[in-house]
Amino acid sequence: MSDLLLPLFPLGAVLFPGTRMPLHLFEPRYRQMLTDIRAGDQRFGMISAVPGVAERDLPAGRIGCVAELVDVDIMPDGRANIIVIGRERFALNAFLDHEAPYHMASVTTVADEPGGAPVALAVAADEVLSNFTRVVKAVRILNDDTDPLPVLPDSAAQIAWSIGAMIDLDAESRYRLLAERSPAARLTQIDHVLRKALPDLELQAALKAK
């Protein structure tokens, strides 16, 4: 673990490590943040907001994800469309007083817990991949979509996050998936969502295919 000072962007979304997310920046404070991070290391922190809680009142220990710029499109009026990729997770320590118009915070990077049987993890990952493939095939039948299946990472620790970025999850489920430090538990979480959706999706797809 290491301590970092990061520009912080609280918003109602969750960025997962290893996944990409488009963002539209329109507030003056975040336009300035973009200018500053482009002149620096291209990185800032994304942390999910809590409904009814002011941004600077987010609790210490709340988990976020370092975002790295991979593409920037600045419009004539100063607004910007950007694409970021998630890097390491962090835990919020404290917001800092700073001259910048955006938030700055002290954070500590967060890693997965050690341990766990690699063979059991690989088996669980294979099961999740199988169920995800079934879900995608059913959805594509329903939508008359012939695009190829999405390519998922080889890393069992990354699979749940990659799938989580592609499927419909509520905000709290996304946050729990980000904060979970056990790769096996993340796979269990995402597999529960897939298994719950499968019967109805496959039934609808079978009826449409008749």
Task: Indicate if the pLDDT at residue 210 is higher than 90.
Answer: no
CB 47 within 8 A of CB 9: yes
**φ, ψ at 87 (rounded to 5°):** -115, -130
In degrees and rounded to multiples of 5, residue 51 shows phi and psi of: -55, 130
pLDDT tens figures, 177-204: 999 999 999 999 999 999 999 999 999 9
* CA terminus-to-terminus distance, the chain: 55
pLDDT digit string, tens, across residues 36-82: 999 999 999 999 999 999 999 999 999 999 999 999 999 999 899 99
In a 3-state reduction of DSSP, which class is residue 42?
coil
Evaluate whether 163 touches 153 at the Cβ level (below 8 Å).
no
pLDDT > 70: what percent of the chain? 99
Locate 185 and state its tokens. Answer: 């538990």
Task: Report residue 149's pLDDT band, with 50, 70 and 90 as the boundaries.
Answer: confident
d(CA 118, CA 143): 37
Q: What is the pLDDT of residue 147?
A: 86
User: What DSSP string runs through 104-129?
Assistant: EEEEEEE-PPS---HHHHHHHHHHHH
pLDDT of residue 14: 97
